[in-house]
């Protein structure tokens, strides 16, 4: 019965699952951001003293040509766990693969790029960027719905592309997950309030598997 429930959830989630969300900064307007703003679901946290700029710059990576970049002019600023400048963020519904195409702002200094979840205390991963090298960096977030933050630890970093993909591909369901059994299930509405059972509309379903792993799926109940 539990395995059947998982298969049903997998089927429903497949039809409604979120595909990868991509931000190609070549498509962004040329703006010096001095205040927090949200563009296509991506929040740019900036102030007049901790700006994030979109500027012209031509780069090619893996056969893709980029004409603009998002510039972190320095380290990300936080105030008591609240992002205040040189930080970008976006929401995720659960396990997510985050990839960026980026380089340091100069050819002399290495940089550390940070991915955190919820605030600046839960570090998902840190990537060391060699000076002047354009490359692809991947972060793997495992957990429940949250907000992902990206920022530099010390100096300038330039981003050309950002992509967030639900773990397990476009459906968020892997073959190995289908072979597991659910040992417990919890239901939440879109604002994070737990419910006793699924309600009509969109539900967040948290499933704990027989191997101890946890999956969170966005499921529609007609």
Q: Tens digits of per-residue pLDDT, 72-124?
A: 999 999 998 899 999 999 999 999 999 999 999 999 999 999 999 999 999 99
Q: What share of the chain is helix, strand, coil (3-state, %, to 5)?
A: 10, 55, 35
Largest pairwise CA distance in the chain: 60
Cβ atoms of 86 and 50 closer than 8 Å: yes
Task: Name the CATH superfamily for 21-166.
Answer: Galactose-binding domain-like (2.60.120.260)
Q: Write out pLDDT tens, residues 117-150.
A: 999 999 999 999 999 999 999 999 999 999 999 9
Q: Write out pLDDT tens, residues 168-190.
A: 543 333 444 445 567 788 888 87
Which secondary-structure segment (H or E) carries 79?
A: strand 77-79
Mean pLDDT to the nearest integer, 23-28: 97
CATH 2.60.120.260 maps onto the chain at 21-166
* Global pTM value: 0.69
Written as six digits, the tokens of 6 are: 């998982």
């Amino acid at each position: 019965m539990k395995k059947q429930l998982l298969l049903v959830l997998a089927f429903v989630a497949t039809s409604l699952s979120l595909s990868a969300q991509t931000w190609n900064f070549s498509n962004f307007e040329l703006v010096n951001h001095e205040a927090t703003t949200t563009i296509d679901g991506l929040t740019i946290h900036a102030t007049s003293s901790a700006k994030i700029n979109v500027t012209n710059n031509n780069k090619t990576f893996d056969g893709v040509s980029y004409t603009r970049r998002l510039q972190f002019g320095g380290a990300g600023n936080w105030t008591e766990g609240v992002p205040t400048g040189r930080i970008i963020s976006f929401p995720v519904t659960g396990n997510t693969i985050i990839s960026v195409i980026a380089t340091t702002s100069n050819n002399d200094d290495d940089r550390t790029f940070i991915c955190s979840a919820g605030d600046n205390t839960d570090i998902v991963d840190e990537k060391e960027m060699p000076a002047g090298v354009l490359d692809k960096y991947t972060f793997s977030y495992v957990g429940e719905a949250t907000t992902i933050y990206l920022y530099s630890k010390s100096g300038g970093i330039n981003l050309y592309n950002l992509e967030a993909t639900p773990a397990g591909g476009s459906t968020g369901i892997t073959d190995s997950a289908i072979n597991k059994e659910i040992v417990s299930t919890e239901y939440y509405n879109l604002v994070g309030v737990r419910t006793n059972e699924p309600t009509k509309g969109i539900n967040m379903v948290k499933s704990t598997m027989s191997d101890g792993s946890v999956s969170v799926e966005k499921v529609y109940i007609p």
